[in-house]
A and B are shown apart, each in its own frame.
Chain A
Amino acid sequence: MKIEIRNLTKRFDGVTAVNNLSLTLEGGKITGIVGPNGSGKTTLVNLLSGFLPIDGGTVILDDAIAVKKIRPHKIKSYGITRTFQDIRLFEQMSVMDNILVVLTERNLWCALFECHNPGHLQKAEEVLRMIDLWDKRDEPASSLSYGQRKLLEIGRAVSMEARVYLFDEPFAGLFPGMAGIVESILKQLRNQGCAVVLIEHDMDLIRGLTDYVFVLDSGVLLAEGRPHEVLRDRKVVEAYIGN
């Protein structure tokens, strides 16, 4: 899987949050996206997941499909999924249902009467055990702790069996034990050949986990390259200090 972004632009009144940005996300790699607050990282994810309409530019999937308009309910069929910087779960549902809800063939007429098949239940169990929430499966999502909510959201993304994962600060606020789970999930997805995008402020994590890094500043690409080299770059250091 490969996503090529060409001249992507997004303007809000007064601010150009993403400015003529071109970059490529490749399968089998964890790609870091870093940059000071307000540099456009989340906006980029919002554009790629159809949350915000694209003002200019093109997104090319697998060297084949060029899209200028991404409809949110289509991203599943493109193999793209994401998480949110401010966790967004289905609060009314149980932990288990938050996973089961994505494991659905969208044949609506059947879905009216059909219950989940054993395959779905097995998959949900697998994911919930991985994020250590199997024991909480029947509890409402709203009852979970911050870290557990973060993990559940990541688990929901993993259940989608996508090929491109956009993780917006998945480590933020996690204790080491939980961060370890997230880390192993990210590596596992990379080993499966998925394109994994990691937005992160902790440079040690970026150095330790990513294969390639893009640095954004005010919506433009400031630098790119292997993490050790890029993070030593003067421009990059200044952008962070200047913030």
Chain B
Amino acid sequence: MDILTQLVINGIIAGAIYTLIALGFNLIYGATKFFNIAHGVFAAIGGYTVFFFFKLSGAALVPSILAGVLLAGIAGMLSDKLVFLPLRRKRGSSVIMLVASLGLFTALQAVIAIMFSNRFQTLTDIFNIQKTYQIFSGVITRIHIVIIITVVSLTIGLFLMLNRTKFGKAVKAISDDDEVARIIGIDTDRVIGYVFFIGSAIAGLGGILIGFDTGIMPTMGMGLLLKGVIASIVGGVGNIYGSVCGGLLLGFVENFGVWKISGEWKDAIAFGLLIIFLLFRPQGVLGK
């Protein structure tokens, strides 16, 4: 095993996971222009749904995953309809929206903890974590391959959706100028509802895949969210391609940063990167 190759592989894996969270976060930020802290909890909802159906109830894998993705999406859409949409109607500032999303995050996280306890849980090891594959002179596990393939497909899918479909044009129009979007006949509230569904469903899928990789906890959302937010800011907030860029950059910097030092420095390095970007390139790598 060659350490350099392995660091590259680890960087890509971490980058893919951060991208998974940043994609939905950026999609929602683009349309609504506020930092949706609650985004993290939808990852936990996805993970726990699969935990409930697949591990506790013995349902089949694919329907359980579908249920997890769907439930995360629906929860996200409901969060918009019940909390954020009313605030938008009252012209609540982005700070008010952020505080509301933090409240929502805390509340939903508490509900998960009440239902499933605060304990760390693993999902059934169907991907056989022990089995590794050789890539050049490094190794990778099966679940990591699944994560990377998922992120690549999701990014391509979102790219096509935003650039090739009428729905995508509506989303871009809203992100550019929501008032003008409305007068050309776009029902912005409805489109934003769908954006919340898609973004949160992606977060749910992220939570599920991470669950199969390491495991789940009710509090898993905050850590994921913070890394997703850093990836978004580093890549360019509100920019879908910035998510990939920022996710990968964060993954690489974290992994290469702890090359010669203890792995516990990872978070410090991640936030160091965030501060450097906020100071010197607040628009991120790709900008708007």
Contact = CB atoms under 8 A, between A and B. Distances in A.
B169 A97 contact: yes
Contact of A111 (B167, B172, B175): B167
Interface stretch (A14-22, A99-107, A193-201): A99-107
B129 to A, nearest CB: 36
Contacts of B165: 111-115
A108 B167 contact: yes
Contact of A72 (B170, B179, B190): B179
Interface residues of B, number: 26
Interface in B173-200: 173, 175-177, 179-188, 190-191, 194
B103 to A, nearest CB: 29
Interface string A61-82: 0000000000011011100011
Interface stretch (A25-33, A36-44, A84-92, A234-242): A84-92
Contacts of B186: 73, 104, 106
Interface residues of A, number: 31
B59 interface: no
Main secondary structure of the interface of B (DSSP, over half): helix
Residue among B169, B172, B179 with most chain A CB within 10 A: B169
B170 A92 contact: no
Nearest to B187: A73
B131 interface: no
Interface in B100-139: none
A116 B188 CA distance: 20
B192 to A, nearest CB: 11
Contacts of A114: 165-166
B183 A90 contact: no
B176 A82 contact: no
B278 interface: no
B172 A90 contact: yes
A190 interface: no
B194 A108 contact: yes
A106 B185 contact: yes
A112 B169 contact: no
A144 B177 CA distance: 18
B170 A101 contact: yes
Given A51-B179, A90-B176, A108-B191, A160 B164 contact: no
A52 to B, nearest CB: 11
